[in-house]
Structure 1
């Protein structure tokens, strides 16, 4: 686990710990030790006498120590290279340290994603679902023409009934990193949504279900495999075991009830597989083997919506069929769904046809808040049994479900009316409430982001100036060494923003000559690419919303050179391609960097003019 007095977004930047030591990601252990020793001497807090400089030196010193602790440990370095800084905050099992590299990397990724899922689930470990029923059929029956409309409406409203069908509560708790416990309790009438129900009740009776309390223990004993045991706490003889294997392409699940019975127990087999390596299309086969009857088989294909960066619309579909001996018999189904990202909405349209039950259709729309705390959905379902409007609201894991029965017959005008009603409700909510809420949320986020950037910019600028002051001694020593052996001398280095059309903005740039000279070792300079140059010691981002460029004028073996690179490009000095063949007036000035006009007390001032 990482425990340091460090915080902020800098640690989350890609390859930041390598940038702290001024090393590429392919640096050797010897190079890491050498850079750690050299930088620790430069930024040791005890070498600073000013309190403000001591605090900045302390922060840089802690970053250097943290980088060395991580990169000098082969296992932790592998974690950092694969998962970044977030991976260092996780306590991985010790058995992963013995794995070879080709097995370690997928194992680290799998454990990391599982850990993140557990963290999200542990934020709310209690879920409840209330299912009610509203019988509104009387509202749409033909009325008596002989009575007035007030009496007719009053009697229709009086005949409308609402009742609670069920109440379900789930409590979850993690028993360590690999084991999870769930306790599920239910009370109410038997409805289709109930799971593991092993008894039927008389209609209209409100009582505890016999299987109303059950426990589920899930243990993941490896990255790809888990074991689950489910028990009815009111009937301990009802025990089932499930085993599941999951990898990048396949999901296999086997469920078997444990019963002391001479009859062969039913076995449920579920298999999921990605059909193509470059696609998320998933094939599914489910099979229930039972000696009491014919096996039930379900075969389906799922093509989920693919959401990429910058997309506003994505669609997917599900299709398949199942064979079962009980009602409603063999069934085939198809569902199309679309994701509207600007509206945070999902639309689903599906049909199902069974040989005994006929055709059933559904139209569903759901809205999800940007914080993922609230979900609201409504669906219209119609078949030969009638028309039902189903409403559902979920907030922080608490769900309220209200199915409204509109008719016992398949009436087209009710389907159209219910569909228009839910579409109109969403349109009104979008016009009067949701779009204003989104605009307000985005404005607040933008203002907070701009203020944070402004504060961060001021802080980074002050820190960079203080770091450059601490680097003056190292820069002087490097200059004297390189100048004495006709090596690499940095005359001027500037880090500046550029406009979208490539026009530089030098007035907004910063002078980083000292910082670059301090990076010179043995007549060479190498700054890795990929990471932002603003992460380098003595640098800061002068204009975050624009691209940046680094220009360096330097002297090598008495000859002038010039290099200019982009923000994420590597810099290697010296190179023959940087040689300036024709020197004009601006190059013929004395080759002494501007920053040597201010001497450092502990280093004698020397004359560079010749």
Structure 2
């Protein structure tokens, strides 16, 4: 059920009146629009259907009822029709692809079955009819079908067992950079350094998880690690049950020596989190007390995502317990929008649209910071970390500093994540030495390669360990990520441009018919305004905020619809709904930040206004009038 505020916003949007409009103004506007869109007043068959639909909207809005196809829903429907032209049914905007016959050419489902309709097929295939698909290159269709089959099989295994695996191969390359005398036998010295490179540790971990019910899961994890002196093998089973949405219990048992048994309970609500974890060795119960970890987290401020946490750990055999205090926060940013991006205070993970984004790839993301204090004897330290996630590039950059009694340490890392693959690199230096860590992930399987470059704090080596990965990252961005980002952006606008020019687009036909209905009232308004030196709209376009070669042809002429809205030398349109919901408007590029550009004359002076999509249209501007010479 819509609220009273939504009802009023919708009424004002349909009638194009400000929220402060009086009952008389609403009545006058209703009468004026009824005369324009009344079905009995239409003499052109092209505009009769559009006029009847608009008249019904105006009538129900005036009566104070919310029509079931609200402006937001209509906008979502408009976007869906752009890219899925064969769909003729109404669908909810929160669905990826509706299972409607004919949405994708029947040629594809006959090979994939009904479940193939749920997959996000490439736009170049999805927008073709049967004949075009039949005539398409065989390799292109086969590649799309192979990718669909691969995803289907992977999803089936993922839902059944959720396999996770990792392989860690630690390399000791300190001999390669060790200091020493360089004798005359320089080549022999280099060979000796290379022979000194060896395998420090090698470990393999694999786990599978089976869901027994909606609230219960069971997991089996095996781990084996070999070092220079010993071999470690563990096999553990974990049972987890979610008693309530806030309370969960986890039990873990080891099936190999030393047969560790552990339990953890978790309480988590919107503002607080408590985790209590304990474990012990049954055969050493009397001589070795159980370990204990207590973690408490809480949101510190009501209208801020800043959180604080405290963790206390007691380990048998340790002279002192360990206490960690941390504060962390994150803030999304979106530079692609002309308005300041302010997420909701209660929002969890930030949500970004699927729009074209920026050219550089730095337009949207999340910045996070954290600081902490660790109290554990001589290992006590203070830590500071900052990271930024670039949503358009799927790239995360992170830097951290640690200062303690043993000295200072710092590290930098970069991680790129794709649909199935992820790659990260980390370089760090501290009292333990200098290291580089490479990590590759594919289908939930992870390969890690830590490389120890020096067991000492070698400043020169540390500098090179940072410069070389940073240079590689810059080159990768310039030659791989940036061209890929440009290609994605160009592809998005090409698809929008094809949809905008599509002759079969019902949305475009409705917009053009509405403009025909408004042409005569707009002309009368402009003649009356010119006579009194009032507000005269000369030119108005609506399209993407960014103006470049990619957005060429995506700016729609909305001069006549704006002219028809001028009333008593003023123009006001609320920002409660997208401007694409205004009569005669159409969304030329869904999910793209757009602006309305207007050239108008007021009091015999020419002015120009550029109004972002989320700002109300108020003309003439006050205090921001820009005369044109």
TM-score range, shorter chain: 0.5 to 0.7
What is residue 272 of structure 1 aligned with on the other side? Answer: 297
Give aligned pairs, total.
441
Q: Secondary structure at the match of 2:576?
A: coil
What TM-score results when the alignment is normalised by the length of structure 2? 0.52
What is residue 323 of structure 1 aligned with on the other side? Answer: 376
Q: Is the 8 A contact 1:374 1:396 kept in 2?
A: no
Q: Which residue, out of 191, 194, 197, partners 1:157? A: 194
What is residue 254 of structure 1 aligned with on the other side? Answer: 276
What is residue 470 of structure 2 aligned with on the other side? Answer: 426
Residue 554 of structure 2 is aligned to residue 531 of structure 1: no
C-alpha spacing 1:439/1:316, structure 2 compared with 1 (3 Å): same
Report matched runs for 1:296-307 at 5 Å. Answer: 296-304=321-329, 306-307=331-332
Output the CA distance in 2 between the equivalents of 1:422 and 1:372.
Answer: 27
C-alpha spacing 1:286/1:294, structure 2 compared with 1 (3 Å): farther
C-alpha spacing 1:353/1:43, structure 2 compared with 1 (3 Å): farther
1:128 Cα shift?
2.5
What is residue 509 of structure 2 aligned with on the other side? Answer: 462
Output the CA distance in 1 between the equivalents of 2:166 and 2:298.
Answer: 31
Output the CA distance in 2 between the equivalents of 1:257 and 1:89.
Answer: 45
1:269 Cα shift?
1.7
C-alpha distance after superposition, 1:337-383 (max 9, x if no partner) = 354859945242322435xxx33623222243587952412222332
Residue 440 of structure 2 is aligned to residue 393 of structure 1: yes
What is residue 482 of structure 1 aligned with on the other side? Answer: none
Output the CA distance in 1 between the equivalents of 2:212 and 2:463.
Answer: 46
Report matched runs for 1:340-351 at 5 Å. Answer: 344=395, 346-351=397-402
Q: Which residue, out of 373, 380, 383, partners 2:431? A: 383
What is residue 234 of structure 1 aligned with on the other side? Answer: 255
Residue 403 of structure 2 is aligned to residue 366 of structure 1: no
1:87 Cα shift?
9.0
Q: Is the 8 A contact 2:540 2:559 kept in 1?
A: no
Q: Secondary structure at the match of 2:333?
A: coil
C-alpha spacing 1:410/1:463, structure 2 compared with 1 (3 Å): same
Unaligned runs of 5+ in 2: 1-8, 20-29, 40-44, 61-65, 74-90, 97-157, 336-361, 522-534, 546-554, 567-571, 601-608, 619-629
1:547 Cα shift?
0.9
What is residue 547 of structure 1 aligned with on the other side? Answer: 596
Q: Secondary structure at the match of 1:455?
A: helix
Q: Secondary structure at the match of 1:531?
A: coil
Q: Secondary structure at the match of 2:464?
A: helix
Q: Is the 8 A contact 1:340 1:346 kept in 2?
A: yes
Output the CA distance in 2 between the equivalents of 1:253 and 1:86.
Answer: 39
What is residue 172 of structure 2 aligned with on the other side? Answer: 135
C-alpha spacing 1:57/1:429, structure 2 compared with 1 (3 Å): farther
Q: Secondary structure at the match of 2:166?
A: strand
C-alpha distance after superposition, 1:219-265 (max 9, x if no partner) = 6x22xx130313236379824131222323x3222234599879985
Report matched runs for 1:182-261 at 5 Å. Answer: 183-189=219-225, 203-205=229-231, 208-211=233-236, 213-217=237-241, 221-222=244-245, 225-232=246-253, 234=255, 238-248=261-271, 250-257=272-279
Residue 204 of structure 2 is aligned to residue 167 of structure 1: yes
1:444 Cα shift?
1.5
What TM-score results when the alignment is normalised by the length of structure 1? 0.54
Q: Is the 8 A contact 1:228 1:243 kept in 2?
A: yes
Q: Is the 8 A contact 2:264 2:275 kept in 1?
A: no
What is residue 416 of structure 1 aligned with on the other side? Answer: 460
Q: Is the 8 A contact 1:131 1:402 kept in 2?
A: yes
C-alpha spacing 1:315/1:298, structure 2 compared with 1 (3 Å): same
Output the CA distance in 1 between the equivalents of 2:183 and 2:397.
Answer: 46
C-alpha spacing 1:379/1:394, structure 2 compared with 1 (3 Å): farther
Output the CA distance in 2 between the equivalents of 1:234 and 1:495.
Answer: 80
Q: Is the 8 A contact 2:160 2:210 kept in 1?
A: no
Output the CA distance in 1 between the equivalents of 2:438 and 2:372.
Answer: 25
C-alpha spacing 1:462/1:292, structure 2 compared with 1 (3 Å): same
Q: Secondary structure at the match of 1:244?
A: strand
1:428 Cα shift?
3.8
C-alpha distance after superposition, 1:292-315 (max 9, x if no partner) = 877724232324454433388967
Report matched runs for 1:373-522 at 5 Å. Answer: 373-383=421-431, 386-407=433-454, 409-412=455-458, 415-431=459-475, 433-458=476-501, 459=505, 460-465=507-512, 497=540, 508-509=557-558, 511-512=560-561
Q: Secondary structure at the match of 2:334?
A: coil
Q: Which residue, out of 377, 382, 405, partners 1:333? A: 382
C-alpha distance after superposition, 1:161-203 (max 9, x if no partner) = 2366212234456677x64736352332178xxxxxxxxxx92
